[in-house]
């Protein structure tokens, strides 16, 4: 469990939770911390299970051996289970003085993980031969982002509703970014093997829209995320968080380098000879 949690990671979900809580007053910081920790524990649990042979069969996560590679498949399965339970334990230990907020936080976390629209549903879509791309991405990645922004508000005694769009747009952008980097073959920034979407025949924005289309879609989602931030004293801080995260996820330099390589590859690609083209045409006519 320690290997699964303390092996790097951007911690963007807990960051979002803490940022929204700050914007909402953060009057019970220990509850906010617990909500943020529970989100990260649940996220790490999903990664452990996602890496296992039944799904991605990945050797590396965040640049280090996956749990099942380091400790065996049975222990990886139990690790994920243990982290899920621990997420709720953390909430329970810190929320007893605020039972109404605690109940709301537990329901919010469950919605982001369970069925019909949480991580479990998203993983189930991967088991199907066809899947609705938007629904798949909303479940697998977006739902826990929505839980993250809403958790910050709930922990501070505010309504989570105005903060849900921010999580939804960021969650979808995060998955699109993952699809883009998978196509770019950027194993270093992914922290896991690249090209897995094609190998595992998973739904992908980059495959559905093309690389340029996926990048444009990502940029549009980031813009919508920034515009969706409710009026508050911390709006500029939140917008800066969104922008810095977008550059981390899809650096413009990475996309430009890929386009240059693609253009160079097309330029040196051998063309069919006139004779071969003619022979093909004649054969077709016959």
Query: Is 282 inside a domain boundary?
Result: no
In a domain, 280, yes or no: no
Q: Is residue 283 part of a domain?
A: no
- Residue 69 pLDDT level (bands cut at 50, 70, 90): very high
Q: CA-based diameter of the chain, in Å?
A: 84
pLDDT in tens, 78-95: 999 999 999 999 999 999
Quote the percentage of the chain above a pLDDT of 70. Answer: 84
For the residues 10-31, what does the mean pLDDT come to? 96
Question: Do the domain assignments include residue 281?
Answer: no
pLDDT at 282 (0 to 100)? 40
Residue 110 or 132, more confident:
110
Q: Is there a domain that residue 256 lies in? A: yes
Does the pLDDT of residue 254 top 90, yes or no?
no
Distance CA 133, CA 36 (A): 28
pLDDT in tens, 169-182: 999 999 899 888 88
CB 14 within 8 A of CB 37: yes
Q: Which of helix, strand or coil describes residue 200? A: coil
Taking alpha carbons only, the member of 184, 182, 145, 128 closest to residue 10 is 145
* Average pLDDT value for residue range 117-142: 88
Query: What's the pLDDT band for 52 if we cut at 50, 70, 90?
Result: very high
Q: Which of 15-24, 160-169, 243-252 has the lowest mean pLDDT?
A: 243-252
**Distance (Å, rounded) from C-alpha 159 to C-alpha 20?**
11
Note whether residue 208 is domain-resident. Answer: yes
Distance of CA 131 to the CA centre of its chain: 17
- Residue 266's pLDDT is what? 67
Mean pLDDT of 231-260: 85
Residues 6+ apart with CB under 8 A from 183: 195, 197, 204, 206, 207, 211, 214
Assign 189 a pLDDT band (cuts: 50, 70, 90).
low
State the CATH number of the domain containing residue 198: 1.10.600.10
pLDDT of residue 270: 57
Which residue in 89, 80, 65 sits closest to 1, CA to CA?
80
For the chain, the domain total comes to 1
| Within-domain flag for 117 | yes
Domain span at residue 172 reads 2-275
| Residue 192 clears pLDDT 80, i.e. is over it | no
- Averaged over 194-216, what is the pLDDT? 73
Q: Is residue 260 part of a domain?
A: yes
Q: How many CB atoms lie within 10 A of CB 139?
A: 27
Buried b (16+ CB within 10 A) or exposed e, 182-193: bbbebbebbbbb
Question: 25-34, 35-44, 86-95, 239-248: which has the minimum mean pLDDT?
Answer: 239-248
Tell me what the pLDDT averaged over the chain comes to.
86
């Amino acid at each position: 469990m320690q290997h699964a949690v303390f092996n790097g990671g951007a911690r963007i979900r807990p960051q979002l939770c803490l940022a929204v809580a700050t914007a909402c007053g953060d009057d019970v910081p220990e509850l906010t911390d617990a909500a943020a920790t529970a989100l990260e524990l649940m996220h790490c649990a999903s990664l452990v299970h996602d890496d296992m042979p039944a799904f991605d069969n990945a050797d590396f996560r965040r640049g280090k051996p996956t749990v099942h590679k380091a400790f065996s498949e049975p222990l990886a399965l139990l690790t994920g289970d243990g982290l899920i339970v621990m997420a709720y334990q953390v909430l329970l230990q810190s929320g007893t003085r605020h039972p109404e907020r605690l109940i709301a936080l537990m329901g919010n976390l469950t919605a982001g993980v369970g069925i019909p629209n949480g991580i479990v549903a998203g993983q189930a879509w991967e088991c199907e031969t066809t899947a609705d791309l938007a629904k798949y991405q909303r479940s697998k990645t977006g739902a826990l982002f929505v839980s993250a922004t809403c958790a910050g508000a709930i922990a501070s005694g505010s309504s989570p509703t105005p903060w849900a769009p921010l999580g939804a747009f960021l969650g979808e952008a995060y998955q699109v970014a993952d699809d883009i980097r998978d196509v770019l073959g950027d194993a270093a920034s992914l922290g896991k093997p690249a090209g897995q979407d094609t190998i595992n025949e998973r739904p992908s924005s980059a495959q559905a829209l093309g690389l340029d289309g996926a990048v444009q879609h990502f940029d549009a989602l980031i813009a919508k995320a920034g515009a969706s931030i409710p009026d508050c004293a911390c709006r500029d801080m939140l917008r800066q968080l969104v922008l810095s995260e977008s550059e981390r996820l899809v650096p413009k330099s990475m996309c430009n380098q890929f386009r240059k390589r693609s253009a160079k590859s097309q330029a040196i690609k051998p063309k069919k000879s006139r004779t071969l083209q003619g022979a093909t045409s004649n054969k077709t006519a016959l």
